[in-house]
Amino acid sequence: MIEVEVKAHVNDFEAVEKKLDEIGAKKIKFEHQKDTYFNNPDYRDFEKTDEALRIRITTIKEKEEIILTYKGAKMDTVSKTRKEIEAKVEDSKNTGLILENLGFKPVETIEKDRTTYLFNEFIISLDEVYKVGNFVEIEKEASEGEDFKESLDKIFKIYKKLGIEDGFERRSYLELLGIYNS
Amino acid sequence: MIEVEVKAHVNDFEAVEKKLDEIGAKKIKFEHQKDTYFNNPDYRDFEKTDEALRIRITTIKEKEEIILTYKGAKMDTVSKTRKEIEAKVEDSKNTGLILENLGFKPVETIEKDRTTYLFNEFIISLDEVYKVGNFVEIEKEASEGEDFKESLDKIFKIYKKLGIEDGFERRSYLELLGIYNS
């Protein structure tokens, strides 16, 4: 699966939430995400290859869901569009231990509070990322091989409707935190 | 977790089943297991390191359970005792795709029918391994750092009670199939 995605840094969510309401976007959930990123510099240094390996623990209303995710390198120069493979797992500790025994070590854990909206076929996330800042992400799934340019155009049009015309950010949170060089 | 384990090749299960009945072992389940083993020779060649990475799909009464497992190298010269870490996953296809994107490629899929018995704290499995043969495995979980010699002695005593005094096999099914050199 390809995740067609653009992220933008915003100062506060209030104006964005008002616009989301105006365009008829539907608030669908609020969740906490705890993301642990792994790397294996001796084998394949994700800081250089632009890949990512992550265990995400999502908490919605005290219920936990754990997802192991691989992300490929970014596929263009304007967005964060990339290959993404997700697999739900039951045990974050043992999944992490398996990765560690294979040589992939935890680099950093990033926590955020995410409010998710749905607008047509697009998912809009308002992310309060601890120690980093506030971000709005707009994304859509595409199939591998599919032309995603049209979806990207639509994403930038939605940003415009939300009053966001700059602050676009292709760097990862690990780069923004200075853990990886950007 | 350490899996204290001994495996033995047997010609048929009939005599073993009779003995299991006599010593009061309890038959607890029958299942089908489909095990796909992965390797990454360019990074860490499990054929040489004696490690294993496996996705097991277990089917019991049409219900599937999927487990991702890492196994460390064998810890002694008489048994198959080794570190084992298991994590239940929901999606074998995506879990496999994540491993493949990390460079771990599927080597072989081994299928077996397993009948499991419980005898005191030991698990006894009668495995009909397709294209390989019939095997009896006796195992017990131990903690890391724990002395497992006593458990091993007990395992060999159970084998004796079952009338199995030779045919002990430390080679993996990949070795027995000639996929890995033993």
> pLDDT 10s digit of each residue in chain A, 182 long?
899 999 999 998 999 999 999 999 999 999 999 999 999 999 999 999 999 999 999 999 999 999 999 999 999 999 999 999 999 999 999 999 999 999 999 999 999 999 999 999 999 999 999 999 999 999 999 998 889 999 999 999 999 999 999 999 999 999 999 999 97
- Return phi, psi of residue A6, to 5°: -130, 140
Rounded CA-CA distance A113/A125 in Å is: 10
For residue A83, what is the nearest residue in chain B, using CA coordinates? B101
Residue closest to B113 by CA, chosen among B172, B48, B34: B34
For residue B65, what are its two tokens? 């359970």
Sign of the Cα pseudo-torsion (B132, B92, B79, B125, in order): negative
Please indicate whether, in this complex, the C-beta atoms of B97 and A90 are within 8 angstroms of each other: no
Rounded CA-CA distance A114/A126 in Å is: 6
Task: Give the pTM.
Answer: 0.95
Q: What digits encode the pLDDT tens for the residues B102-121? A: 999 999 999 999 999 999 99
Rounded CA-CA distance A10/A91 in Å is: 34
The answer to whether A158 touches A25, Cβ cutoff 8 Å, is no
Work out the pLDDT band at B182, boundaries 50, 70, 90: confident
Element (H, E) at A174: helix A173-176
The answer to whether A138 touches A131, Cβ cutoff 8 Å, is no
For residue B94, what is the nearest residue in chain A, using CA coordinates? A87
- Name the minimum distance, in Å, from the CA of B98 to any CA of chain A: 6
* Model pLDDT, residue B6: 98
Rounded CA-CA distance A141/A3 in Å is: 5
Please indicate whether, in this complex, the C-beta atoms of A89 and B87 are within 8 angstroms of each other: yes
Please indicate whether, in this complex, the C-beta atoms of B87 and A102 are within 8 angstroms of each other: no
Please indicate whether, in this complex, the C-beta atoms of A43 and B94 are within 8 angstroms of each other: no
Alpha helices in A35-117 (DSSP H): 46-49, 92-101
- Scanning B70-129 for CB atoms below 8 A from A yields 70, 72, 83, 85-91, 94-95, 97-98, 101-104
Domains identified in chain A and CATH numbers: 2-176 (2.40.320.10)
Mutate to test the interface with B, among A38, A54, A83, A90 (most CBs of B within 10 A): A90
* Model pLDDT, residue A33: 98
Please indicate whether, in this complex, the C-beta atoms of B90 and A85 are within 8 angstroms of each other: no
* Model pLDDT, residue B87: 98
Q: Name every chain B residue with its beta carbon within 8 A of the beta carbon of A39.
A: none
- Name the minimum distance, in Å, from the CA of B69 to any CA of chain A: 7
Residue closest to B181 by CA, chosen among B70, B67, B39, B28: B39
- What percent of chain B lies above the pLDDT cut of 90? 96
Q: How many CA atoms lie within 13 A of B160 on its CB side?
A: 6
Active site residues of B: 37
| Strand stretches in chain B, DSSP E | 2-10, 26-39, 52-60, 63-71, 82-89, 105-119, 122-129, 133-142
Please indicate whether, in this complex, the C-beta atoms of B89 and A88 are within 8 angstroms of each other: yes
Q: What digits encode the pLDDT tens for the residues B119-169? A: 999 999 999 999 999 999 999 999 988 899 999 999 999 999 999 999 999
For the question of an ipTM over 0.90, the answer is: yes
Alpha helices in chain B (DSSP H): 14-23, 46-49, 92-101, 149-161, 173-176
- Name the minimum distance, in Å, from the CA of A161 to any CA of chain B: 36
Task: Select from B53, B83, B87 the Cβ nearest to the Cβ of A90.
Answer: B87
Q: Name every chain A residue with its beta carbon within 8 A of the beta carbon of B103.
A: 43-44
Task: Select from B72, B83, B91 the Cβ nearest to the Cβ of A88.
Answer: B91
* Model pLDDT, residue A145: 87
Query: In terms of C-beta distances under 8 Å and separation of at least 24 residues, what long-range contacts does A142-148 make, across chains too?
Result: A142/A1, A142/A2, A142/A3, A142/A4, A143/A1, A143/A2, A144/A1, A144/A2, A144/A83, A146/A2, A148/A2, A148/A4, A148/A75, A148/A81
Taking each helix axis as running N to C, give the angle between helix B149-161 and helix B14-23, from 0 to 180 degrees, rounded to the nearest 10.
Answer: 110
